[in-house]
Amino acid sequence: MQLDILEDYQRQTKFLVALDSIIFGFDGDELKLLLVKRGIENDPHSWSLMGGWMKEQESLEEASQRILFELTKMKHVYLEQLHTFGDPMRDPVERTISVAYFALINVTDYDQNISKDYETQWFSLHELPQLLFDHSQMVAKAVDYLRYKASQHPIGFELLPEKFTIPQLQKLYEAIFGTEFDKRNFSRKLLSTDLLIKLDEKQKGYSKKGAYYYRIDEDRYHKQFNTFLNFLPSTSL
């Protein structure tokens, strides 16, 4: 019986497992996507998501973290498994299953000169180039999930610098959802979460009074991350 099971395993078709990361970043004005140029035979100027292959002794999480570090030299990045893409025709070169992850980083934390082996570039979500394979589907699913996640959890803070103003945070959420929010409602809803610590420092040049900087209360953030905060105000313009 044991031999039959082993032979059954050996008869199965072997597939490649790829991991692709949809890396979102915020530059203070708009939401962006980090892409890498992948020269292939038919299109040497094509762009793709950041990705790589899973090694034999790795878990999915280990592989995703390793690949992200190899391409960006960044550690401790917010990374979450999104979806598995397995259409038999998705990769014309070889039968490949792709496990997609999405990552959130602050654009200023990423130095494009670190990984000299790769040609990378930030693209506005409104001006994306044509992507390889089914990567456009991955991006669309990631945007939908990011909007859902950001509406229920304080995930947007991962895209901001260590200190930020309420107007900066509002601009981020408006970029994520593609809409405008009422300033008073947004500020009131945000401060009611008790996730922010007000600093004794103001942003210069924002207005005559200036806007106070805030930072995240790390303890509250980690405790409340997976609780449903209904983070967005109910009314928008």
What is residue 113's predicted lDDT score, i.e. its pLDDT? 46
- Residues 193 and 187: their CA atoms lie apart, in Å, by 10
Tell me 131's DSSP state: B
What is residue 111's predicted lDDT score, i.e. its pLDDT? 60
How many separate domains does the chain show? 2
DSSP strand E in the chain: where? Answer: 16-26, 31-37, 47-48, 50-53, 78-85, 96-106, 120-124, 164-165, 196-203, 211-216
- Rounded to a whole number, what is the distance in angstroms from the first to the last CA of the chain? 67
* Radius of gyration from C-alpha coordinates of the chain: 21
Question: Are 101 and 180 in a shared domain?
Answer: no
Question: Are 88 and 184 in a shared domain?
Answer: no
Threshold 0.75, pTM exceeds: yes
Residues of the chain with pLDDT under 70: 1-3, 39-45, 111-116, 205-208, 228, 231, 233-237
Residue 196: give its domain's CATH number: 1.10.10.10
- Last-in-domain residue among 120, 137, 152: 152
- Residues 26 and 156: their CA atoms lie apart, in Å, by 10
What is residue 112's predicted lDDT score, i.e. its pLDDT? 53
Residue 33: give its domain's CATH number: 3.90.79.10
Give Cα 237 distance to the centre of its chain: 26
Domain span including residue 140: 2-152
- Last-in-domain residue among 124, 152, 180: 152
Question: Are 37 and 81 in a shared domain?
Answer: yes
Question: Are 8 and 103 in a shared domain?
Answer: yes
Question: Are 208 and 197 in a shared domain?
Answer: yes
Question: Are 142 and 188 in a shared domain?
Answer: no
Token duo for residue 29: 């004005």
- Residues 34 and 158: their CA atoms lie apart, in Å, by 15
Q: Is residue 29 part of a domain?
A: yes
Nearest to 128 by CA among 237, 51, 49, 14: 49
What is residue 236's predicted lDDT score, i.e. its pLDDT? 45
